[in-house]
């Protein structure tokens, strides 16, 4: 959960912390979670699980984005330092 929370936050950071881009950050994290589970089907000793994606990875990404959204300024953009 923690790893996918950080991944979703990283994607949102790439979008400049715009509030309207949070669903895209979540979707990219879920897309990666799905491909990771597919990859596990080829690794000996690992089993893919759709429940892992739907519950744990999803919950981690959603919670991180929701909690981080509390700290983003209302102007929909994080303040960038002047150069």
CB atoms within 10 A of CB 73: 10
Q: pLDDT tens, 16-63?
A: 999 999 999 999 999 999 999 999 999 999 888 899 999 999 999 999
pLDDT tier at 73, thresholds 50, 70, 90: confident
pLDDT tier at 5, thresholds 50, 70, 90: very high
pTM flag (> 0.85)? no
Chain centroid to Cα 56, Å, comes to 12
Structure tokens at 25: 């950050």
What pLDDT is stored for residue 80 in this prediction? 58
Does residue 83 carry a pLDDT above 70? Answer: no
């Amino acid at each position: 959960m923690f790893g996918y929370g950080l991944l979703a936050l990283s994607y949102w950071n790439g979008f400049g912390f715009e509030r309207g881009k949070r669903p895209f950050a979540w979707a990219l994290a879920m897309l990666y979670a799905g491909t990771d589970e597919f990859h596990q089907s080829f690794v000996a000793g690992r089993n893919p699980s759709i429940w892992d994606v739907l519950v744990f990875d999803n919950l981690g990404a959603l919670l991180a984005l929701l909690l981080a959204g509390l700290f983003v300024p209302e102007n929909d953009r994080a303040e960038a330092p002047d150069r």
